Structures are given as C-alpha cells and as structure tokens.
Amino acid sequence: YLKISKLALAFAIIHSKPPGKSSKEYTEYLAKTVAEQEFGWKWKAEVLEAEVLRLRQELLLNRISPRFCLENRKQDASAETLLGQESINPTSYSSQLEDSGCDVCNDSAFDSLGTALDFHQSEHSVTCKHWLERVPPLNLCPTSKEQSVTAPVHFLQHLLEIRKLSEGGILQADFSELDSDSFTVCNSVSQLLDGLTVFYSSPKFPAPGILTEGVRVLISLITDTKLSNYVLKKCFKKMEEFEKNLIQIILRNRSVNRFQALHSVAETLGLLGRNNILRSSLISLLLSEVRQFAEQLLQAHQVQSMYDISQYENIFLLCMTLEQLLQNETEESNISSSDYGGDEKIKFLKNLDQIILHLSDEFPLFSLYLWRVSVLLNSGQMQ
C-alpha cells in the first residue's frame, strides 16, 4: 500500500507540474511549501501554549491573593518593562569588544550581574510599597528571545512580591494553592532556566537587564524558606541540569573575549550554591569535572601529547567556584566538609597526591588549586 501511494504521488506531481519546471524542482518546491506550513502550525501551537500558561499564571496569582491582582491591575499598563532597562550602569562597552581576551580589571560589561551578590543584603531595606510599585504589569506572552525570559521572570516576581507583602501583613495570601497547581510554577521556572542558558551560551555586550533580573528572581526563589520547598521539590532535576549547562558553558568556551562573560557564569554558580540542597549537588558536579580534567591532563603530560589550552584556562573558574563553595560551607556550619561530595569526594581524593606530584612542575598553579581543594575536603579548613 505504501509503495502504491508513493507511486501515485509521484505520478500526480509529474502530471501537475507547471511548464518550465522539472519534476525534481517541482517536488522540492512542494516540500518547501509543506515545511513552511508545518513551521507555521508549530509557531501557532507555541503561541497558544504560551497563552494557556499566561492564563494559568494569572489564575494562580488570583487564587493566592485576589487583592494583589486587583492592585496590580491599577498600575499604569505602560510602565517600563525590564526589556527597556538594557543597562543599569550606562557605560561605553566598545573597549570590551576590542580587548585581547585578558581578564582586565574593568568588569563593567557584566557589572550588573555582580549586583546580585549584594541583593540579599539590600532587599530587606526595601519597603513593601516600593516592591509593589516596581513589579511590571503581568505581560506573559513571549514574542522574542528576551520576552521569552521576561514572561517567567514577571510571573515569579509577582509571586515573590505576594510573599513579601503577606509577611508584612499588608496582604492576605494562601500559598497552599501552590500544592494544587505546582505545574504552573515548575513550568515557569523551567522556562526561566532555559532562557538563562541561552543568554549565557551567547553573551551580549552589554548584558541585558533581564539577565540580571532573571538571576535575582531565581536566587530569591530558591532562598525563600517557603517558596523554595515548592520549587526544589518539583524542579530539582531541572536546576541540576541548569548547573551542568553552566559548567559546560565555562569549559567549552574558546572565544578570545570570554573571561568576563565566563566570570559572570561562575558567579551565578556560586550564588546557586548558597542553597544547601543545591550546594551539595553542585560540589559533586564540580569535583567530577575537575577530577576528570586533572586525569586527562596527567595522561597528556605523561605521553607528551597536546592538551586543550582553552579548557585549561577555563578550569580555574571551576576550581575557584569549588573552593568558594567548600569554604562557605565550613564557615557557615563550622564543621568539616568531609560529608560533602559523597562518592565524588572519594574519587577526587583517590591518587590525588600522585597527580599533584606529576603535574606540579609543569602546571604549578593548577596543582596548587588541587591541593587547596583537597585540604578543604579533608579538614574543612584552609591551612
């Protein structure tokens, strides 16, 4: 039946082809037309899916706190969105595009991401009224790459604001509604993580304001004692996948002007590691990557073969992030970090002395980092 159908289709194409066109050209034209129609249907389906998610988000917010949604609708619909805030500190970025790739002191291109480090210290001084005023109107239907990130950011911003205002006694909120509709929150977090991965994979100068806000919202979400339970319970695998993607972005980047951009990616990894649950999994991932690279470098050194110099340069960002996470853990808990890393810790420490011994002459800085990490894993203290 399939052969007969194909034969019939071939005859139909031959008989219906316009004059001046060969059968092959006409077939290619028909195939292109069908493909374009299929793409159109896919685009329409994506738009409808985004609209369904937008309605679910509005419904969930309304169920959690109807008064907040009423107040939010009173705001000016033409208020500035995050997309208009392309740069927090307006600076000339032409020099960033022309530098040699060396990590110089001027980090202005990604300065806006650095503000996330101070976010938790400053957020408590902001009044609830200011929070309500700064939240953009709920506009969640994406029409571009930036807006595909803006949509989940706006929804999660509203969720966080309801949380803050309810803590201050200004709003009545029922967060038990999240139990019955965890899909909406998880889908929004998943979209945000995918969007951030896209931005980090191909960083722009200057960094879009939405990238900064996306990181801030994500960190606030996973550090909030109430909301993080809902997010991490359902989205832990997605968060771990996001961590893996960021690690691979750091390792695989070979562009000349990359160090400032990769520094911001490493900084985001460090911020994610502030969460105790994510910290343990992130330490394991970093230990695995550093160990594998050390073993590959040792093998290349022993047989005098070539090694990836770009990856060697990039690995130091992972080493610094790993050291920071281990050090923060021991400082916060005041106990040994020997329980962190699990099996990866055992694999990392196995034969580490021999690796350091063989690499110390040729690669002294990398060997020093390996030793510092091993000290933290063994004793929980920097010597």
Interhelix angle for 66-73 vs 23-64, to 10°? 110
**Better-predicted residue by pLDDT, 80 or 334:** 334
pLDDT surpassing 80 at residue 192: yes
| Alpha-carbon 47 to chain mean position | 23
Whole-number Å distance between alpha carbons of 216 and 222: 10
Per residue in 244-298, pLDDT tens? 999 999 999 888 888 888 898 999 999 998 888 888 889 999 999 999 999 999 9
121-130, 301-310, 332-341: range with lowest mean pLDDT: 121-130
Domain chopping of the chain, boundaries: 144-274, 276-330+339-382
DSSP letter assigned to residue 82: G
Per residue in 3-41, pLDDT tens? 898 888 888 888 888 888 888 888 888 888 888 777 778
Contact assessment for residue 267 and residue 280, using Cβ atoms and an 8 Å cutoff: no
Q: How confident is the model at residue 176 (pLDDT cuts 50, 70, 90)?
A: confident
Contact assessment for residue 158 and residue 68, using Cβ atoms and an 8 Å cutoff: yes
pLDDT surpassing 60 at residue 338: no
pLDDT surpassing 90 at residue 336: no
Q: Where are the alpha helices (DSSP H) in the chain?
A: 2-16, 23-64, 66-73, 94-98, 111-114, 119-123, 128-134, 145-167, 177-180, 182-201, 209-223, 227-252, 259-272, 276-302, 309-333, 343-349, 352-359, 364-379
- The predicted pLDDT at position 145 comes to 59
- What the block records as the tokens of 256 is 């000349």
Gyration radius of the chain's alpha carbons? 26
- The predicted pLDDT at position 92 comes to 39
Query: What's the mean per-residue pLDDT of the chain?
Result: 77
Whole-number Å distance between alpha carbons of 333 and 264: 27
- The predicted pLDDT at position 269 comes to 92
- The predicted pLDDT at position 322 comes to 94
Match 């996330």 to its residue by tokens.
Answer: 116
- The predicted pLDDT at position 32 comes to 86
- The predicted pLDDT at position 20 comes to 83
Whole-number Å distance between alpha carbons of 305 and 297: 9
The widest CA-to-CA distance across the chain, in whole angstroms, is: 84
Whole-number Å distance between alpha carbons of 54 and 152: 9
